Chain A
Amino acid sequence: DQQVKQNSPSLSVQEGRISILNCDYTNSMFDYFLWYKKYPAEGPTFLISISSIKDKNEDGRFTVFLNKSAKHLSLHIVPSQPGDSAVYFCAASARRSGGATNKLIFGTGTLLAVQP
C-alpha cells in the first residue's frame, strides 16, 4: 500500500506561469515532508521541506503548503522557468515513530515540463 501518492505523472506549464505539484499521504504519523527534484542521470536533490507544525514554508520561487486535515501537500513554483523541468518527488517521514534516522517514504514523482 502506497503511503505517499503523487497522482499526476506529468504536468506541462508555460514559462512564467505557476506550477502546482500535488501530493497525498495516508499515514497520520508523518510529521516531516520534503520535496526533491531530479534531473535525468542525477540523484534527487533536496528542494524544500515543511514540518507538520507549519502549514506553509516559502523559499524564493518555491512554496510548500501542508493541509494536515486533508493529508495533502502541494509545491508551488512561481514563476516557472524552463530550468525547473525535472521530476519532482514528494517524501515524508515519521520521526515520532522513533529512531534517529530519516526513513523517507517517497511518492512516484511528477514530471514537470516548463515550456518556453
Chain B
Amino acid sequence: ETGVTQTPRHLVMGMTNKKSLKCEQHLGHNAMYWYKQSAKKPLELMFVYSLEERVENNSVPSRFSPECPNSSHLFLHLHTLQPEDSALYLCASSPTGLNTEAFFGQGTRLTVV
C-alpha cells in the first residue's frame, strides 16, 4: 500500500476514444503530479498541482487534460490520443516544503491502438 492509488491499472483505448485516469492519495499531501514513462526514456513530468501553483509542461499536447478537484484527487483526461502516447502514466504526491520526496502510485499502463 503506497498511499497513492491509481485506476485503472491497465487501459487499452482507440485513437477516437475519450478516457480518464484517476489518482487518489491518502497521505495528506497537498501537491500532486502526473509523470509519463516511455520505454528507455526518463520519467517526464507532465503536470503539477498544489494549493500554491499549477504548472503545466508546455511540451505536453492538449490531448492530455488534467483536472484536480481537490488536494486528494487528480485526473488525467485523454482524448484523440496517438499510438506514441502508449506509456506508463504515474501519479505522485508530496508535501510542499523543502526537501520532500514524492510518493508514487503503481501507474496506469496505457496502450493506444
Q: Which residues of A are at the interface with B, using a C-beta cutoff of 8 A?
A: 2, 4, 9, 32, 34, 36, 41-46, 49, 51, 89, 91, 95, 99-109
- How many A-B pairs have beta carbons closer than 8 Å: the answer is 76
| CB closest chain-B residue, reference A89 | B43
Tell me how far the C-beta of A64 lies from the nearest C-beta in chain B, rounded to whole angstroms.
13
Whether A102 pairs with B106 at a CB distance below 8 angstroms is no
Interface 9-residue window, one of B46-54, B59-67, B74-82: B46-54
User: What CA separation (Å) do A17 and B4 show in the bound complex?
Assistant: 34
The total of chain B residues at the interface (CB under 8 A) is: 32
Q: Are A102 and B102 also in contact (CB < 8 A) when A2-B42, A44-B43, A108-B42 are?
A: yes
Whether B101 pairs with A99 at a CB distance below 8 angstroms is no
Whether B97 pairs with A100 at a CB distance below 8 angstroms is yes
Whether A43 pairs with B2 at a CB distance below 8 angstroms is yes
Confirm or deny: B55 has a beta carbon within 8 angstroms of a beta carbon on chain A. yes
Whether A103 pairs with B55 at a CB distance below 8 angstroms is yes
Note all chain B residues with C-beta closer than 8 A to A2: 42
Tell me how far the C-beta of A23 lies from the nearest C-beta in chain B, rounded to whole angstroms.
11
Confirm or deny: B110 has a beta carbon within 8 angstroms of a beta carbon on chain A. no
Note all chain B residues with C-beta closer than 8 A to A44: 43, 90, 104
Whether B96 pairs with A106 at a CB distance below 8 angstroms is no
Q: Are A102 and B31 also in contact (CB < 8 A) when A42-B106, A43-B90, A95-B98 are?
A: yes
Note all chain A residues with C-beta closer than 8 A to B92: 43
Note all chain B residues with C-beta closer than 8 A to A49: 99, 101
Note all chain B residues with C-beta closer than 8 A to A108: 40-42
Confirm or deny: B45 has a beta carbon within 8 angstroms of a beta carbon on chain A. yes
Whether A45 pairs with B104 at a CB distance below 8 angstroms is yes
Whether B45 pairs with A103 at a CB distance below 8 angstroms is yes
User: What CA separation (Å) do A4 and B6 show in the bound complex?
Assistant: 27
